[in-house]
């Protein structure tokens, strides 16, 4: 595809009248939209990652080749976040789909990154993190959980939590190991478990409260279970695991000698109850890998700074996988991330206050439009039942919402092992400025509101 673009690009510089033909060709063949810049320059709006990878063939120069992929990834599609953000651009819709803020992170963190780059902190970082950042993570973890961890032996810095998830799966799971997953789940869990060759055992959390079905969990967990994955506050539902649920999971894990991988990236967006870090439960630290990141808390999702905290015997596997996945994470961003984690408590208080106002705008708006809105205790997501509007499933609803209403949401069926389980539910995010949220609600009121 790149070869094709380069060729055409050269041609265009010399024969600009070809632009309309070229533009049409690119759009129909690979979905890129070229734009004409000043004096002989052309750029392509779509990037490689935003070009659908689900067509059966791709064109490269004049040949058409079948797509190739290893078996462990063949069932997965272009991520729903990429698909929906592309559609948002294509249809000029307001994007309440992919969870990224449409506002910037704090100045003091951005300044720290600029300073680090100017100070020449630009070569490879130590594989498991620059010492200052590992220390900042340990300090923050102690403040939040009371647990004292060794920054040198128990913390691994990764390129976003998504890499920490992958390193954990690949570093600690053997092919054939059983791993329990609560559906709906963040898409990378299933894909990385598949890469690790795990045997996935799904347990579905159901509306309205998405409570853990304890009896089902008891009958699923066994001596064959290697690990259980939890995510609290939970994407996409906003559920926060209760102390009772966590205690039950903890005792079942001890009884069956099971590890816990806990994704807590939304911990600072806990609105309706206090966040409980799984590792802080009695006896749990020794069997827990805590996964976290900077992106949500500091509105810097593009920085891709994450980390895994685990006792030394589990950190070894995570670090070894990380060493051969990415080796090390961006050095100047780690310096800035250390500054971020040392933010005064007032930063976190303000963040929460701000998000609560945004949440109120979206939730009240969705209710006024006529959705059945399920309670969300944390994260910047809220899940609704779309069936009052009469569309057959979540995908059809989201298509309608984009094309006819001009708003993007995420269909949740992709977050289930059995897509049927999610067909009535869609997820909206409120990590957007208030004006954008109000505009989205307004569009829905005008075009969706049932008379």
Applying CB under 6 A, the residues found at the interface with ligand GLN are 79, 81, 98-99, 235
CB of 352 to ligand GLN, least distance (A): 19
CB of 218 to ligand GLN, least distance (A): 29
Tokens of 7: 């060729």
CB of 234 to ligand GLN, least distance (A): 11
User: Which residues, including other chains, have CB under 8 Å from residue 251's CB and lie 6 or more apart?
Assistant: none
176 — phi, psi (to 5°)?
90, -15
- If 0-12 CB within 10 Å is exposed, 13-18 middle and 19+ buried, where does residue 133 land? buried
**Length of the chain, in residues:** 451
- Work out the number of other CB atoms within 10 angstroms of the CB of residue 41: 11
The SS3 of residue 231 is: strand
Comparison of 129 and 306: residue with beta carbon closer to ligand GLN:
306
Comparison of 79 and 242: residue with beta carbon closer to ligand GLN:
79
User: Which residues, including other chains, have CB under 8 Å from residue 284's CB and lie 6 or more apart?
Assistant: 250, 253, 260, 278
Comparison of 99 and 129: residue with beta carbon closer to ligand GLN:
99
The SS3 of residue 405 is: helix
Which residue from 249, 260, 248 is spatially nearest to 173, judged by alpha carbons?
Answer: 260
Find the residue with minimal CB distance to ligand GLN.
99
- If 0-12 CB within 10 Å is exposed, 13-18 middle and 19+ buried, where does residue 282 land? exposed
Contact assessment for residue 290 and residue 145, using Cβ atoms and an 8 Å cutoff: no
Check residue 155 and report its DSSP letter: E
CB of 32 to ligand GLN, least distance (A): 20
Comparison of 4 and 376: residue with beta carbon closer to ligand GLN:
376
Cα–Cα distance between 297 and 274 in angstroms, integer? 16
Comparison of 112 and 408: residue with beta carbon closer to ligand GLN:
408
Comparison of 98 and 232: residue with beta carbon closer to ligand GLN:
98
Comparison of 164 and 252: residue with beta carbon closer to ligand GLN:
164
CB of 208 to ligand GLN, least distance (A): 21
CB of 365 to ligand GLN, least distance (A): 19
CB of 431 to ligand GLN, least distance (A): 9
The SS3 of residue 200 is: strand
User: Which residues, including other chains, have CB under 8 Å from residue 243's CB and lie 6 or more apart?
Assistant: 276
CB of 327 to ligand GLN, least distance (A): 21
CB of 306 to ligand GLN, least distance (A): 12
Cα–Cα distance between 97 and 280 in angstroms, integer? 32
Comparison of 99 and 332: residue with beta carbon closer to ligand GLN:
99
Comparison of 23 and 235: residue with beta carbon closer to ligand GLN:
235
CB of 411 to ligand GLN, least distance (A): 12
Tokens of 143: 């403040």
SS (HEC) of 243-295: HHHHHHHHHHHHHHCCEEEEECCCCCCECCCCCCCHHHCCCCHHHEEEEEECC
Cα–Cα distance between 300 and 336 in angstroms, integer? 11
Comparison of 338 and 437: residue with beta carbon closer to ligand GLN:
437
């Amino acid at each position: 595809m790149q070869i094709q673009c380069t060729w055409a690009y050269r041609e265009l510089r010399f024969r600009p009248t070809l632009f309309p033909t070229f533009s049409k060709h690119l759009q129909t063949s690979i979905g890129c939209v070229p734009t004409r810049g000043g004096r002989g320059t052309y750029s392509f709006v779509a990037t490689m990652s935003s070009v659908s990878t689900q067509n059966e063939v791709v064109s490269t120069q004049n040949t058409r080749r079948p797509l190739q992929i290893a078996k462990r990834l063949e069932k997965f599609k272009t991520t729903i976040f990429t698909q929906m953000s592309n559609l948002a651009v294509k249809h000029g819709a307001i994007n309440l789909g992919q969870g990224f803020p449409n506002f910037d992170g704090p100045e003091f963190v951005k300044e720290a990154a600029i300073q680090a780059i100017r100070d020449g902190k630009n070569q490879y970082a130590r594989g498991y993190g620059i010492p200052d950042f590992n220390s900042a993570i340990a300090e923050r973890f102690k403040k939040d959980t009371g647990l004292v961890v060794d920054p040198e032996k128990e913390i691994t810095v990764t390129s976003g939590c998504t890499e920490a998830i992958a390193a954990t799966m690949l570093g600690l799971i053997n092919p054939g190991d059983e791993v329990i997953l609560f559906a709906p789940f963040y898409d990378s869990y299933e894909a990385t478990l598949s890469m690790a060759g795990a045997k996935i055992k799904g347990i579905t959390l159901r509306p309205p409260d998405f409570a853990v079905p304890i009896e089902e969990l008891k009958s699923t967990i066994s001596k064959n279970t290697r690990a259980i994955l939890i995510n609290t506050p939970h994407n996409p539902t906003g559920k926060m695991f209760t102390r009772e649920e966590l205690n039950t999971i903890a005792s079942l894990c001890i009884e069956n000698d099971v590890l816990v991988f806990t994704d807590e990236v939304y911990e600072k967006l806990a609105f309706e109850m206090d966040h409980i870090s799984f590792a802080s439960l009695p006896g749990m630290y020794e069997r827990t890998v805590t996964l976290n990141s900077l992106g949500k808390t500091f509105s810097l999702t593009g920085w891709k700074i994450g980390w895994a905290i685990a006792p030394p015997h589990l950190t070894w596997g995570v670090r070894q996988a990380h060493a051969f996945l990415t080796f090390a994470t961006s050095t100047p961003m780690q310096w800035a991330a250390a500054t971020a984690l040392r933010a005064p408590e007032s930063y976190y208080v303000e963040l929460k206050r701000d998000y609560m106002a945004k949440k109120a705008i979206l939730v009240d708006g969705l209710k006024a439009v006529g959705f059945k809105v399920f309670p969300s205790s944390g994260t910047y997501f809220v899940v609704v039942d779309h069936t009052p509007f009469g569309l057959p499933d979540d995908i059809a609803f989201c298509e309608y919402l984009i094309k006819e209403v001009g708003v993007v949401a995420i269909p949740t069926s992709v977050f289930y092992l059995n897509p049927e389980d999610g067909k009535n539910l869609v997820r909206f995010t409120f990590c957007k400025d208030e004006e954008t949220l109000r505009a989205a609600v307004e569009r829905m009121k005008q075009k969706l509101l049932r008379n």
